[in-house]
Amino acid sequence: GSASAKDALVNTLVAAGTFLTLIPITSIIFEVFSKGYKGIYLGLFTSDMSLNSPNDPANVGGLGHAIIGTLILVAIALVISVPIGILTALYLTEIKGRFSQPIRFLVQAMSGVPSIVAGLFILSAILYPITKQNSALLGSLSLAILMIPTVARTSEEVLNLIPNDLREAGVALGGTQWRTVAMIVVPAAKSGLLTAVILGVARIAGETAPILLLAGGGDRFNFDPFNGPMGSLPYFIWNSFKSGTPESIARAWTGLLVLLVVLLFLFSAARFLGNRKVGK
């Protein structure tokens, strides 16, 4: 009948839309893997580029400094943004005070802030007037600005899924509001909150503009987040492509492959945790 024909048409359109969506995604993944795997070798993850030039073969030097730099940048951003993001979500869901609406609006507005704006803000507020030098700390501050709204919004959605019965049971047993939140609500939402953190990391791991402005870039290991420019995977990729030689472009594809694998792992972990029922 006409109903079954409409169902068939809708199913066909949905399948076609899904297929069209997958084409660019799979094309990107295939392109990166096909061009990036050639530069994978053992020393890639333990060496830096301090003794190499753009004309050296792709299997000389490495991106160990870029991986370490990215880890340091993300770790500092995590320390700053996770407490702020989760506490903001707890305020919006548990306290619901007079500032809830303005804070929620601010978080939503911050979600759409371009990364270059966050970078320029830290540049003009801290780098030029105070530190006058690039550092990983400044890069992490800009990444934290980008990460906070992702963590806050996702955490708020997760906390809203916690049944009110749990909160009421905690209060009925004599617990204060914050004791109930700390001992019952947060543990029940832990997998969802971890998902929020992972999505926040995925949001900032590949950011390039604020890193170029604030962390600068380097071709050697730097373990000091307070002094001097620090390399990162986005900077390594950008700089290698900019160099323009076939060898450096091949190196850039390898860096892109490493970054893509990291992001795919993060999104897969977030998906896995997101599929778990709240409270488990």
Mind listing the pLDDT tens digit for each residue in 112-159? 889 999 999 999 999 999 988 999 999 999 999 999 999 999 999 999
Each domain of the chain, given as residue ranges in start order, spans: 1-39, 42-274
Burial of 106 from C-beta contacts in 10 A (0-12 / 13-18 / 19+): middle
Give the Cα separation of 61 and 47 in Å (integer). 6
Backbone angles phi, psi at 248, to 5 degrees: -70, -35
Tens of pLDDT, residues 60-114: 888 999 999 999 999 999 999 999 999 999 999 988 888 999 999 999 999 888 9
Q: 181: Cβ–Cβ under 8 A, 6 or more apart, which residues?
A: 90, 94, 167
8 A C-beta contact, residue 260 and residue 237: no
Q: Which two tokens stand for residue 127?
A: 């780098």
Topology given in CATH for the domain delimited by 42-274: MetI-like fold (1.10.3720)
Please answer whether residues 273 and 192 qualify as being in contact, where contact means their C-beta atoms are separated by less than 8 angstroms. Answer: yes
- Output the pTM of the full model: 0.87
Q: Is the distance from CB of 185 to CB of 31 less than 8 angstroms?
A: no
